[in-house]
Structure formats: structure tokens, C-alpha cells
Amino acid sequence: MTNPSRYTARVTAQTENASRRQDGIEPLQDILAVARRLFTTIGYQKTTVAEIAAELGKSPAHVYRFFDSKRAINEAVAELLLSQIGDELEVIAAGNSPPPERLAAFLLALSELSERHFMTNSRVNDMVEDAMAESWGVCLRYIQRVEGLIRTIVEEGQTSGDFSVEDAAAGASCVKTTMVCFMHPTMMALSAEHARPEIEQVIAYALRGLGAKPGR
């Protein structure tokens, strides 16, 4: 399993370059902190770079030294949020409980964290949706991380005999796919309007698909 990620290892190439251009005038993290607060209170669409700069007591030109557009700022803010969710999930994946129990806890946490961050605040939902739509890399990196953590648990279950699935990679991919309506903001919003199964039902289905032994 990989070591817990750090924000600087997962930001976009543009953000990494921006951090290297810093000259001590204003930490990059301060720009992102202000942007995140405004995006989640005023809304991404309504927030301007000028407003972000004003909150920092700087000119828009200062912000543009680090990011070439509001879209780039949103991408970095969204990736920071998704990275934080991934860090919480990684703690669960690294636990010592039996793989079936751990996977169930992981999937339940994935659903609960997604609900908390994406659905309780429509402005956060809009911010992440826009970032995912405009910058597929943000979405892809998050999905790959989640699937990788699931695969780690499945592989451990293979070794311990708790799972009988032959291909851990395929099994993890299938489990991740069953969770789309519980982890992707757009699909969460759409599926909530229809009769989607309860998360507990999805977890039980995933465990059966992996060949979890009864009672484990």
C-alpha cells in the first residue's frame, strides 16, 4: 500500500509549477483556502478572481501569478477536497480487521463521506462537478485511488481465503463500479431521485460477488 498521500503530490501540474514560483509574498495554500471558502459559501460560478484577491488583500494580478484562470483554482481546490476524502479512506483500508469487514467499512465510509461533502452543500456539489467536467484528470485520479484501495483489500482477502474471486483487479473494478451512485456527485444527485438500493444492500452484493464466506 502506498504511503498516505500529500496534497503536493496530487495537485495538477499547473499547481505544482505555481508552488515553485512562490517568492514568499503569499503562500499558495492561502489562495486555495480563500477560494475554497468562497466557492462553498457564495458558489463557484458567482465567485470571481477579483473577489478571491480582495479577500487576500491582493490584486487579481497576484492570484494570476499562481493560477492562469478561475477554472485552474477550482481544479486545485476540488483535488484537495478529494485528496482529503482519499486520506480518510486510506486509513480504513490499512486497518487490521478481516478483509470482508474492512471492505464493508470502507464502502460505507465512501458513501457517507461523499454524502457529507457533496450533497449537504449544493455549492460544494457544483464546485466538484464543474472541476470533474472541465478537468477529467481530477476525477480520474480520485477514482483510480479509490479502486486501488479496494483492490488492496481484495488482494488481502484472496491471501487470507476470505474472498474466492480469482482476479483481484477485476473484482475491485466491479466493486468500484457498483459504488458510482454513491461516490460521483452527478450520479449521486440523479440516482437520489429514483429508487436506488440502500448502501447496505450494495455492500452485501459486492461481498457476495467477491465470494466472501458466510459469517466472515
User: Which residues are CB-neighbours of 132 under 8 A, at least 6 positions away?
Assistant: 78, 138, 139, 184, 185, 186
The answer to whether 199 and 108 have CB atoms below 8 angstroms apart is yes
Give pLDDT tens digits for 11-34. 444 445 444 444 544 468 899 999
Q: Which three cell numbers stand for residue 105?
A: 467499512
Q: Is the dihedral of CA 204, 154, 177, 84 positive or negative?
A: positive
Give pLDDT tens digits for 87-143. 999 999 999 999 999 999 999 999 999 988 887 767 777 777 777 777 678 888 999
Distance of CA 125 to the CA centre of its chain: 12
pTM, two decimal places = 0.80
